[in-house]
Amino acid sequence: MGMGSVPGGGRNLRGRGRIGASRISEINVTPMVDVMRGLLIVFMVAAPVMTMGVPITLPKTDAQAMPIERKPITVTVAADGTLSIDGAQVGTARQVEHVSALAVEGTDHRLDVRD
């Protein structure tokens, strides 16, 4: 018996076509939809709980507060040679005084120079 003499025109007994003729190139999205639905339910239940505050009592300590991050002093040198310190143009005679005044007002000891 050859392939042409098989009832059904060459199909196997289960009716899925010829053996090895083609592959299924579809993606089954049902498991992904189920997972996404489960995550949606979890987040819908958890979201109201996350917005509520829980009163806690922290222990007292003698540790000092963390230092506040300070910004550096920025000196910008223009192409014509003029200087500006933190955006304010400063004359040549007052550069040191201006930087000294800024350093006292809570800036870091870093000095960034830009062109």
Specify the higher pLDDT residue, 42 or 82. 42
Locus of tokens 């400063």: 90
pTM: 0.35
Q: What is the pLDDT of residues 67-105, one digit of tens each?
A: 777 777 788 888 887 888 877 787 777 777 777 777 765
**Amino acid (one-letter) located at 84:** S
Read off the tokens for 89.
């143009």
CA distance between the termini of the chain: 89
Q: Where are the domains of the chain?
A: 73-114
- Chain centroid, CA 52 distance in Å: 25
Read off the tokens for 19.
């053996």
List the beta strands (DSSP E) in 23-99: 73-77, 83-85, 88-90
**CA-derived radius of gyration, the chain:** 37
Read off the tokens for 25.
């190139």
Task: Let me know if 19 is exposed, middle or buried by CB neighbors in 10 A (0-12, 13-18, 19+).
Answer: exposed
